[in-house]
Structure 1
């Protein structure tokens, strides 16, 4: 079983070098001449480093895969700095949200680092919000959406100058990103057809899902994230749209018994960002350690999301969940989201010089990682019942994926 363990991170880490361009970012820190150990890392900078405690804001609760991946990252950084760098965590948006106040709060120092959801803040992050429409790219399976999508997202953010400049304008640097599995409907009533869907009130997380719901004749409804459970329970909404692992994280199976895995997009990028002034204050050796460990984020989150999705498969049997065939809905959704990708050329912000080239590069990156996944991975195929497919995601073997992420970072060095 693949698990998130800081000790496992140390394998091969010394071999990863990180570029001084977008991957490492502009460095104003540094330790000057120093002795170096066998791995090439300075041995004196750490002795001179004063203790650092970083304040971290998390949008999700502590038990979620993304929060657990962040904690694994922190343990590894603390271990590799001999306890010199530690972290104080605030979960479930108790300090900042992942929207505009998170952008401002991390940028101005209320927190030193935290997660940002770009499409929550289209005014502040127009380029990243536009790029989130790339979540409409179709994947062959749920697992491929998570694994391939996370790699495509990670390298998009690490290599895109417009995105780096956009975050830097808010005094932020992105350290890592991950995608999610596709969003799926969990409802209090059965939906087997377009007639069933028409007029259904659904809580949607953002614009890319709203367009799909509207195409189905559903009614996108605004409900605060923390109020979704009660809204389902009281009949304020009929469904919510969220990745299947969220059904477990937020206990929605207690109040909603109908699962419709229609072809909605995933979140293209959940960004993990640090205050740029804080980053630039670090010696380059610490920056390197942080970036090396950040490579693990898309891996750790992917493992966690797939394991939690398998938990949904197990829990659905016990909770009496009915899985509905989404074929009729998918015909409409596939056409609508194909149009979303086409429309991106005309809706690109001014910072994107060649929108079609940007999109083509992203799709090529998806194809590259899809090929790697088919050649190296052993992801379950979706040619089985809905229930059996979700159960097949238990204990995903993604060690090859971590190795590919490391190798791909290495290949970006000039």
Structure 2
């Protein structure tokens, strides 16, 4: 069994306890190992897997290959172990997209590719995932560029543009998980931001559900927001909150419960998943999601260590690319919609409702959104900012049309979704196939 350029590390602590680490890699790109104190290196660097050698070599399979054809292609490939992590506990809805992807890759490779998964972000917290991928603690992970706008200026421009996304409960989820990925893979600066740091951008700009305003009291009209304090986590969110006449502030979602309970903040701009994890719905069940006035959508980017990616045999690269369909399905069917159901139920349990903005607030946010998108034209991370703005507007409109063309509609609003929805009620296979073929297939390894 081969793992990629791995060593075991033992550190003798002050208490004379031995701590073993096996998630560090000697990276050819870096060419150095950093040793400190009583660091003892055990073992040796291991080579890439067989069945075609490194740098994506060996025989591949055609697009559309069956699971049996993949099994046959992996027959002579040595076992591969890849290290990753999940943001949630094992088996929970919060990590359903990770479980769906890793399980599909393992099954289709006939067990030749397996994943060592650390749960609850045990290896690297959200602000450090990109570093963990580069330095070898993780082989593949979900990078959250929103926390590092200076490191990922072009990706951050796309995150700001997410205010153009449809925010509705069905069509919005589908549209907002398509057009940003389309734009990202066709924007050289976004791809380069990852590659220049030593990462292969696998699945860009997926989201885990819409952002919402969770408030301790019912607030929909502009006077309701005047002078209030609202916690936000992005520059776009700061501009939107300011447009409502409120004061934006930074409060981690893990601390928002106490801040809301004590009246330090009046609302928090979060995804329903983060609100659930933070227990915020108990103290702030009055929720605003407006399909026509989008709040910045929290997005992630699945990336892989570039050295590891390039040392995989071609068939392994192709499989990991082809099974991005499982990631998309797991994200939408396994996480977003189940979390929406749970959130709605909890909101209602604590006496809240989900409402759109009143007309005056909607206009204020829409005006702010136009300014946010127009300002992207001057983003220093883009060679043609004005062209990028045109592209994102066209792609958002295009994918709204495709979602409608495929027959998807909003049969209910958020309040009714918990009783209307059930697993399997919405067949997203035609959508996932269209997204893969139009967005990802042109970049399939060959």
TM over 0.5: yes
Q: Which bin holds the TM-score, normalised by the shorter protein?
A: 0.7 to 0.9
- What whole-Å deviation, never above 9, does each CA across 1:268-298 have from its counterpart, x for those lacking one? 6310111111111100000000001113323
Give the whole-Å Cα distance in 2 for the aligned partners of 1:290 and 1:168.
18
- 1:356-371 aligned at under 5 Å gives the runs 356-371=386-401
Maintained 8 Å contact 1:61/1:92: yes
- 1:189-338 aligned at under 5 Å gives the runs 189-262=217-290, 263-267=293-297, 269-303=299-333, 304-327=335-358, 328-338=360-370
Give the whole-Å Cα distance in 2 for the aligned partners of 1:370 and 1:56.
33
Please name the residue that 1:408 is paired with: 438
Secondary structure of the corresponding residue to residue 379 of structure 1: coil
In the superposition, relative to structure 1, how do residues 195 and 202 fare at CA in structure 2: closer, same or farther (>3 Å)? same
Maintained 8 Å contact 2:160/2:296: no
Higher Rg of the two aligned structures: 2
Give the whole-Å Cα distance in 2 for the aligned partners of 1:205 and 1:28.
39
Secondary structure of the corresponding residue to residue 48 of structure 1: coil
- What whole-Å deviation, never above 9, does each CA across 1:5-46 have from its counterpart, x for those lacking one? xxxxxxxxxxxxxxxxxxxxxx81212599xx9759577762
Give the whole-Å Cα distance in 1 for the aligned partners of 2:301 and 2:351.
35
Give the CA deviation at 1:374.
Answer: 0.9
Give the CA deviation at 1:218.
Answer: 1.5
Please name the residue that 1:11 is paired with: none
In the superposition, relative to structure 1, how do residues 320 and 43 fare at CA in structure 2: closer, same or farther (>3 Å)? closer
Please name the residue that 2:130 is paired with: 103
In the superposition, relative to structure 1, how do residues 134 and 325 fare at CA in structure 2: closer, same or farther (>3 Å)? closer
**Of 187, 202, 207, the match for 1:160:** 187
Give the CA deviation at 1:392.
Answer: 4.0
Maintained 8 Å contact 1:345/1:355: yes
| Structure 2 spans left out of the alignment, 5+ residues | 1-53
In the superposition, relative to structure 1, how do residues 159 and 296 fare at CA in structure 2: closer, same or farther (>3 Å)? farther
Please name the residue that 2:37 is paired with: none
**Of 165, 171, 196, the match for 2:198:** 171
Give the CA deviation at 1:62.
Answer: 4.8
- 1:31-46 aligned at under 5 Å gives the runs 31=58, 46=74
Maintained 8 Å contact 2:227/2:245: yes
Give the whole-Å Cα distance in 2 for the aligned partners of 1:410 and 1:326.
36
In the superposition, relative to structure 1, how do residues 160 and 63 fare at CA in structure 2: closer, same or farther (>3 Å)? farther
- 1:61-100 aligned at under 5 Å gives the runs 61-62=89-90, 65=93, 67-99=95-127
Give the CA deviation at 1:412.
Answer: 2.6
- What whole-Å deviation, never above 9, does each CA across 1:285-344 have from its counterpart, x for those lacking one? 000000011133233312231232133333333332144552132121011111111111
RMSD (CA atoms): 2.8
**Of 354, 363, 374, the match for 2:384:** 354
Maintained 8 Å contact 2:271/2:298: no
In the superposition, relative to structure 1, how do residues 406 and 264 fare at CA in structure 2: closer, same or farther (>3 Å)? closer
- 1:39-58 aligned at under 5 Å gives the runs 46-58=74-86
Please name the residue that 2:18 is paired with: none
Secondary structure of the corresponding residue to residue 312 of structure 1: helix
Give the whole-Å Cα distance in 1 for the aligned partners of 2:417 and 2:60.
55
Give the CA deviation at 1:180.
Answer: 4.1
Give the CA deviation at 1:411.
Answer: 6.0
Secondary structure of the corresponding residue to residue 175 of structure 1: strand
Secondary structure of the corresponding residue to residue 296 of structure 1: helix
